[in-house]
């Protein structure tokens, strides 16, 4: 029997999951479930690096887990749990903190972007990537499927693992980030110069399509999507055409068609038609998952039971690596 490679990935319960999260990450988690030994985590410890209203956070954690199950994460094939339910994540993060130079963290572009907008920056925000390294390294992960924005954090995870291994001896597997070929960075529909994100979606009405949005809501966003003053519908690299390219990329990721097929299909059509067709493809993709979500959330006790069982299993799987790390640094274990 060949043992399957281990996949770990996480998502923050910081808002409503959007089509960028789906295309960049969740869709692949689901599609590749049979190939790997999968561990997926709702990273609530990461979420509080920026203040969250406690009541809303509690609801969003369950919503996040519910949406992932509705998207097709199968608890028979994958562990799906909540990060704070497994204390090993925070424990290993502390140990890794002690081998991570502050300079490495200050260089992270996500930290620079997020901290620039704040009056007061928490230590947690700076430390965010070390906690992420802990998530990944605890499970001897081989692959980390994420969107492009997480590439730098995965590199840091590898550096931290290598540094720990060099200082204390072989302890952690060195993971590899896997970025999708299509849709690694879906841009905001209202502004194709910025990455679509949950935080911007909360502030800007026409920024993103949420996975639980109604057909009317989807169309309200799509019909206002930023395009340009031209009329060619092509996958052009011209920065002026970034809006059109973004719409085509969403279309491509959801239909699986080639760029040539898509450009052919839209030849001679107007931007209005492009927006309508992209909206329809999104609405169709969301329909089945929304139906499953509504069913699942009627009684959240089943969901809570899944999360609890998975947390126990995750804790058992994390324990040997945490113990090894503690032994290596010289703790009495
Ligand atoms: P926030 O605004 O709260 O930082 P986010 O929308 O950036 O949230 P995350 O929870 O940070 O979402 O990311 C979850 C997963 O979705 C990660 O793998 C991330 O790389 C991916 N992802 C996030 N935004 C996009 C995007 N616009 N295009 C493709 N993948 C994305
Ligand atoms: N930082 C990630 C979320 C995350 C993650 C992880 C992703 C936390 N821990 C471990 C992959 C592996 C983000 O998407 N913002």
Closest CA to 136 of 169, 194, 178, 75: 178
Q: Which atom of ligand 2 is nearest to the CA of 153?
A: 1
**From ligand 2's centre to the CA of 46, what distance in Å?**
8
| Dihedral pair phi/psi, residue 145, rounded to 5° | -80, 115
All residues at 6 or more sequence positions from 320 whose CB lies less than 8 Å from its CB, including other chains: none
Q: Give every residue of the chain whose pLDDT is below 70, as ranges.
A: 1-2
Residues framing ligand 1 (Cβ under 6 A):
11-12, 14-15, 20-21, 23-25, 146-147, 149-150, 183-186, 195-199
Domain regions of the chain by residue span: 6-180+300-329, 198-294
Q: Which atom of ligand 1 is nearest to the CA of 14?
A: 3
How far apart, in whole angstroms, are the C-alpha atoms of residue 143 and residue 141? 6
- Our answer on whether the CB atom of 10 is closer than 6 Å to any ligand 2 atom is yes
Q: Is 55 a catalytic residue?
A: no
**From ligand 1's centre to the CA of 34, what distance in Å?**
23
Sheet strands side by side (includes 176-178): 78-82, 37-42, 6-11, 143-145, 176-178
Q: Which atom of ligand 1 is nearest to the CA of 195?
A: 27
All residues at 6 or more sequence positions from 224 whose CB lies less than 8 Å from its CB, including other chains: 189, 190, 206
Q: Is 198 a catalytic residue?
A: yes
Beta-bridge partners for 81:
41
**From ligand 1's centre to the CA of 197, what distance in Å?**
6
Query: What is the model's pLDDT at position 1?
Result: 62
Burial (Cβ within 10 Å: 0-12, 13-18, ≥19) of residue 18: buried
Query: What is the model's pLDDT at position 185?
Result: 98
* 123-126, Cβ contacts within 8 angstroms, sequence gap of 24 or more: 124/48, 124/49, 125/49, 125/50, 126/102
What are the pLDDT digits (tens) for 2-32?
699 999 999 999 999 999 999 999 999 999 9
40, 83, 147: which to mutate for ligand 1, most atoms within 8 A of CB? 147
Ligand number nearest CA of 209 is 1
- In whole numbers, what is the pLDDT of the chain averaged over residues? 97
SS3 254: helix
- Our answer on whether the CB atom of 37 is closer than 6 Å to any ligand 2 atom is no
* 154-163, Cβ contacts within 8 angstroms, sequence gap of 24 or more: 156/104, 156/105, 156/108, 156/129, 157/129, 157/132, 157/133, 159/104, 160/96, 160/99, 160/100, 160/104, 160/130, 160/133, 161/133, 161/137, 163/99, 163/100
SS3 41: strand
Of the candidates 198, 241, 245, 275, the residue annotated as catalytic is: 198
- Our answer on whether the CB atom of 150 is closer than 6 Å to any ligand 2 atom is yes
The C-alpha R_g of the chain, in whole angstroms, comes to 21
27, 48, 149: which to mutate for ligand 1, most atoms within 8 A of CB? 149
Query: What is the model's pLDDT at position 332?
Result: 98
Q: Is 328 a catalytic residue?
A: no
How far apart, in whole angstroms, are the C-alpha atoms of residue 324 and residue 318? 10
132, 137, 147, 199: which to mutate for ligand 2, most atoms within 8 A of CB? 132
Query: What is the model's pLDDT at position 77?
Result: 97
For 297-310, letters b (16+ CB in 10 Å) and e give beeeeebeebbeeb
**From ligand 1's centre to the CA of 68, what distance in Å?**
14
Burial (Cβ within 10 Å: 0-12, 13-18, ≥19) of residue 120: exposed
CATH architecture of 198-294: Orthogonal Bundle (1.10)
* CB-CB contact of 187 with 193 (8 Å): yes
All residues at 6 or more sequence positions from 14 whose CB lies less than 8 Å from its CB, including other chains: 47, 50, 52, 60, 198, 199
How far apart, in whole angstroms, are the C-alpha atoms of residue 56 and residue 59? 5
CATH 2.60.120.10 fits 6-180+300-329, yes or no: no
Whose tokens are 């052009």? That residue is 236
Query: What is the model's pLDDT at position 76?
Result: 97
**From ligand 2's centre to the CA of 116, what distance in Å?**
21
Query: What is the model's pLDDT at position 88?
Result: 98
């Amino acid at each position: 029997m060949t043992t399957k490679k281990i996949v770990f990935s996480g998502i923050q319960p910081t808002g409503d999951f959007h089509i960028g999260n789906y295309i960049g990450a969740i869709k692949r988690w689901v599609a590749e479930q049979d190939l790997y030994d999968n561990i997926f985590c709702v990273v609530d410890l990461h979420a509080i690096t920026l203040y969250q209203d406690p009541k809303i956070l509690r609801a969003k954690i369950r919503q996040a887990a519910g949406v992932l199950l509705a998207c097709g994460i199968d608890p028979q094939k994958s562990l799906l749990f909540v990060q704070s339910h497994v204390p090993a994540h925070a424990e290993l993060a502390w140990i890794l903190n002690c081998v991570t130079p502050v300079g490495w963290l200050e260089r992270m572009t996500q930290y620079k972007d997020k901290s620039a907008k704040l009056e007061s920056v928490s230590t947690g925000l700076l430390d965010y990537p070390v906690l992420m390294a802990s998530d990944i390294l605890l499970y001897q992960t081989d692959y980390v499927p994420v969107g492009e924005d997480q590439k730098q954090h995965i590199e840091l995870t590898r550096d931290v693992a290598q540094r720990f291994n060099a200082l204390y001896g072989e302890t952690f597997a060195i993971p590899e980030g896997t970025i999708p070929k299509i849709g690694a960075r879906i841009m905001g529909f209202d502004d194709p110069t910025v990455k679509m994100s949950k935080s911007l979606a909360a502030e800007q009405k026409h920024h993103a399509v949420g996975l639980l949005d109604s057909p009317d809501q989807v169309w309200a966003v799509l019909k206002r999507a930023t395009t340009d003053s031209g009329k060619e519908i092509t996958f052009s690299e011209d920065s002026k055409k970034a809006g059109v390219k973004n719409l085509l990329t969403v279309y491509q990721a959801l239909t699986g068609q080639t760029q040539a097929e898509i450009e052919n299909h839209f030849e001679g059509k107007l931007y209005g038609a492009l927006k309508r067709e992209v909206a329809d493809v999104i609405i169709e993709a969301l329909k089945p998952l929304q139906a499953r979500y509504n069913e699942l959330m009627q009684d959240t006790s089943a969901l809570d039971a899944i999360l609890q069982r998975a947390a126990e299993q995750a804790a058992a799987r994390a324990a040997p690596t945490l113990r090894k790390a503690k032994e290596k640094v010289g703790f009495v274990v």
